[in-house]
Amino acid sequence: MKPDSTPPADVRLLAREYAFRGRLLNLRIDRVLLPDGEETTREIVEHPGAVAIVALPQPGSALLVRQHRQAAGVHLWEIPAGKLEPGEIPLHCARRELREETGFEADTWREAITFFTTPGFTDERITLFVASALRPVATAPDRDVTASRAFDADELRRMLDRRELPDAKTIVGLLWARLLDPSAFRSTS
């Protein structure tokens, strides 16, 4: 079922202004009237959307890329991903990002799911793809990627258990591709 993109009749937009317009994202402030009659503001980060790819070099394994993420202040292992260019079709973006970040192309593509990353403050949506039948291609490496390699399902589960995979799109993608067993996650009790 697709999310309902129409605003609820009981929440009314009163005004919209932009506090920041950037090259990647915008910050808008919506003034809204809530059902109880109270006026409030919502700060919304507008994002062009993105793709993420679970690239399967062979059954039971996935390619991950290592990148420094300035917002988190750490290097992370993640599934390949990237933002959509204006007017770009998600599959075209996924093909480009896989090639740029890993040096592989895929003969088989399947669109899995589109999800909001953090709907409490951003409209960003990621379209997740599963790519298989990979083959290496000559390409200039993405300057943000410091490493790229295949991990088998057991390695991925151990990394998750050691909390070495904190990236949400990676967890969603690996679960979707059934490379992680949710029953194997470490208990917090």
Confidence of residue 8 (pLDDT cuts 50, 70, 90): low
d(CA 181, CA 51): 23
Q: Is the predicted pLDDT of residue 164 greater than 90, yes or no?
A: yes
Q: Round the average pLDDT of the chain to a whole number and report it.
A: 91
Query: Mean pLDDT across the stretch 148-175?
Result: 95
Query: Mean pLDDT across the stretch 75-101?
Result: 97
Query: Mean pLDDT across the stretch 115-133?
Result: 96
Predicted local distance difference test score (pLDDT) of residue 182: 61
More confident residue, 140 or 72: 72
Predicted local distance difference test score (pLDDT) of residue 70: 92
Q: What is the per-residue DSSP string for 59-128?
A: TTEEEEEEEEETTTTEEEEE--EEEPPTT--HHHHHHHHHHHHHSEEEEEEEEEEEEES-TTTB--EEEE
Query: Mean pLDDT across the stretch 113-125?
Result: 96
Instruction: Give the residue extent of every domain in the chain.
Output: 12-46, 50-179
Per-residue model confidence as pLDDT tens digits over 9-45: 688 999 999 999 999 999 999 999 999 999 999 999 9
Residue 167's φ and ψ, nearest 5 degrees, are -80, 120
Predicted local distance difference test score (pLDDT) of residue 189: 47
What percent of the chain lies above the pLDDT cut of 90? 81
The conformation of residue 7, written as its DSSP 8-state character, comes to P
Predicted local distance difference test score (pLDDT) of residue 187: 45
Predicted local distance difference test score (pLDDT) of residue 183: 59
CATH class of the domain defined by 50-179? alpha beta
Total-model pTM: 0.87
Q: Is the predicted pLDDT of residue 186 greater than 60, yes or no?
A: no
Confidence of residue 178 (pLDDT cuts 50, 70, 90): confident
Torsion of CA 73, 153, 84, 47, to 10 degrees: -50
